Amino acid sequence: NAGVMQNPRHLVRRRGQEARLRCSPMKGHSHVYWYRQLPEEGLKFMVYLQKENIIDESGMPKERFSAEFPKEGPSILRIQQVVRGDSAAYFCASSQAISTGELFFGEGSRLTVL
């Protein structure tokens, strides 16, 4: 089991461009979470998804950010019209059961906005 796979590991975008981050959960896991880590801060919850459903997006910025977890394929975190403040590490995690606090994390995708 390769674990949670995230790509790209590093992404550089200019202001105004779009960023797409992908996450494949661990085999057998149907719960996906996205967290963001800004410089000098801890991880902050963004969104929780199950297949084809967004369950909780309370941590997502209201504009420019969206997430999906389609029936087939990886979960995608999409950031439109990126700004410098979007520069951060974005971590995806998955879990097998709904109530566990044990999350399995990917290695993260580091977004740099020039």
Asked if 75 contacts 23 with a C-beta cutoff of 8 angstroms, the reply is yes
> Cβ contacts of residue 24 below 8 Å, gap of 6+?
4, 5, 6, 74, 75
Q: Is the dihedral of CA 69, 16, 88, 41 positive or negative?
A: negative
Number of residues that bind another protein (CB under 8 A): 27
**CB nearer another protein, residue 13 or residue 35:** 35
Residue type, 101: G
Which residue in 9, 15, 16, 56 binds another protein (CB under 8 A)?
Answer: 56
Q: Minimum distance between the CB of residue 70 and another protein, rounded to whole angstroms?
A: 20
Is residue 26 involved in binding another protein (CB under 8 A)?
A: no
Which residue in 95, 109, 111, 113 binds another protein (CB under 8 A)?
Answer: 95
Which neighbouring-strand residues pair with 91?
A: 35
**CB nearer another protein, residue 41 or residue 63:** 41
Cα diameter, the chain: 39
Binding site for another protein (CB under 8 A): 3-4, 31, 33, 35, 40-45, 48, 55-56, 91, 93, 95, 98-107
